[in-house]
Amino acid sequence: MPVRDTEVLQPWSVRAINLPEHADNVVHTDAGARAAGFPRALVAGVTVYAYLSHVPSAGWGAAWVDNGTATVRFRSPVFEDDLVHCVPVPDPSGTHTYIIEARVDDEVRATLGVSKGAVPPGAHRGELLDPMVVSFGSELAGYGRRAGDDLALFAHGGVHPAVWPVLGNRVTMASLVDGPWIHVRSNITHLGPVSPGDTALIETTVIDRFDSRAGERAVLDARVSVEGIPVCAIEHESIIRLAG
């Protein structure tokens, strides 16, 4: 069960943008999005996650950033220049403490369930991918700031929690995709603090592959450690090949 908290999380709004690096996936460009049947460029899921994660980061600070859980699901696209309202509501199911809704024109486009307190998930069997080493340099650590989250907690060198789905995407792109693809959901378990300049090892297992109406999907179990100490576990699902 999630750790309950009497502190009320506050809503936050932001104008959605795409960062230059996302043009590598053509659905994040106007031309590529239209070719895939969308009206204009889709904003990267990790950027939407960065906006949603502002709310628990602002309200709970390091208590959530260093030791909390997050379950993000993308219902429908957020498009570039949309005004996104990130609105916290108590989770009626009790699974999480809050559900943060990403609302555009009163439509919920994505949700983020959040709680304080985290337990390391169990191991999974599957297809092992090559390990990846990454450094939390200024570009990666400052992802949220570059996307538009100016929260003071991250303005002076803190590592934004958006790095975790970014790492899930990096593994996906390095090992599983060769064309347009879409990040669908992530379950993220924060297990310890990280600092700018840290170097992390990502060890990943493909725990499921299946077909859907939208295309072929893959689910990754990525474990991130710094100097042998676990700092995050990421279950990351994507449509790795779009149908049609």
Secondary structure (DSSP) of 89-115? EE-TTSSSSEEEEEEETTEEEEEEEEE
The answer to whether the beta carbons of residues 169 and 46 sit under 8 Å apart is yes
pLDDT value, residue 21: 87
Write down the pLDDT at residue 20. Answer: 87
What is this structure's pTM? 0.91
d(CA 21, CA 1): 38
CA angle 242, 43, 14 (to 5 degrees): 155
CA neighbor of 8 nearest in space, from 88, 117, 93: 88
CA distance 11 to 58: 10
pLDDT in tens, 62-75: 999 999 999 999 99
pLDDT over 90 at 228, yes or no = yes
DSSP3 helix / strand / coil % (the chain, rounded to 5): 25, 40, 35
Rounded Cα distance, 181 and 46, in Å = 13
Nearest-5° angle of CA 24, CA 178, CA 72?
Answer: 70
127-128 and 199-212 beta bridge pairing: antiparallel
**What residues contact 4, with CB distance under 8 A and at least 6 apart?**
97
**Domains of the chain from N-terminus onward:** 12-242 (3.10.129.10)
- pLDDT tops 60 at residue 4: no
Residue 2 is predicted with a pLDDT of: 44
Structure tokens given for 90: 């108590």
Six-digit token string for 42: 């889709």
